[in-house]
Amino acid sequence: MKSVGCLLSVALLSLSTMVFAQSKPQEASGQSEMHKSMEKPAPTEAQKSFETMKTFAGDWEGPVTVNPLMPGMTDQPIKPLHLSMRVTSRGNTVIHEFQEANTPLDPNKYDHPVTTLYLDGDQLNLVHYCDAGNRPRMIGKMSPDGKTVEFELVDVSGSTKHGHMAHAVFTYIDANHHSEDWTYMLPGDKPIHAHMDLKRTN
């Protein structure tokens, strides 16, 4: 009777070892599948472009060169601009605000255009709230070297009687320098190009 009990114990032990050995690969395979499902997908081009735009957050100042001069302009370069960029809305939006440097924040007296950047599906959108009273919308794409994001016009809301912004390019130079190029279309499709060399002030 004792030998039968021993034999039964050995059989059960062998059986449990076999079951454990078989279940181990299945568990590992199941864990591997679970890890795969938890992995984040690779970022899209639009997401990469948006992350690049977020690196511009901060305050900037620099001169502006306009070519050709807009009607009424006599000096070149024009007065330096102050730029504020900030990431808001839990990281979903970048706000870009220009004003003349060393002036109070008074949008009734001074120009103060505001631009928003945000992702919509697989597109990086830019909406420019222009002092001309309209809202051009553009779609951005990043250059292969990852240093430039270029925006092309898609549509314009509001009156274009006084013209509208039609194109924008942001170029990363280093952590404390970037340039911006904006093209404004006057009535009659006459382009005015503004180039800004901006230095980080904080």
Q: What is the pLDDT of residue 103?
A: 84
Q: pLDDT tens digits, residue range 75-88? A: 666 789 999 999 99
Distance between CA atoms of residues 196 and 123, nearest Å: 25
Tell me what the mean pLDDT of segment 125-143 comes to.
96
Q: What is the pLDDT of residue 69?
A: 78
Mean pLDDT lowest for which of 37-41, 109-113, 122-126, 158-162?
A: 37-41
Q: What is the pLDDT of residue 5?
A: 44
Mean pLDDT lowest for which of 34-48, 75-89, 105-119?
A: 34-48
Q: What is the pLDDT of residue 12?
A: 35
Percent of the chain with pLDDT over 90: 66
Q: What is the pLDDT of residue 52?
A: 93
Domain locations in the chain as residue ranges: 1-39, 45-200
| CATH architecture group of domain 45-200 | Beta Barrel (2.40)
Q: What is the pLDDT of residue 20?
A: 39
Q: What is the pLDDT of residue 25?
A: 47
DSSP for 50-90 reads HHHHHTT-EEEEEEEEEESPPTT---SSEEEEEEEEEEETT
Choice between 125 and 202, residue whose per-residue pLDDT is larger = 125
Cα atoms in the Cβ-side hemisphere of radius 13 Å centred on 34 = 6
pLDDT above 50: residue 157: yes
CA distances from 111 to 22, 50, 81 (A): 73, 26, 10
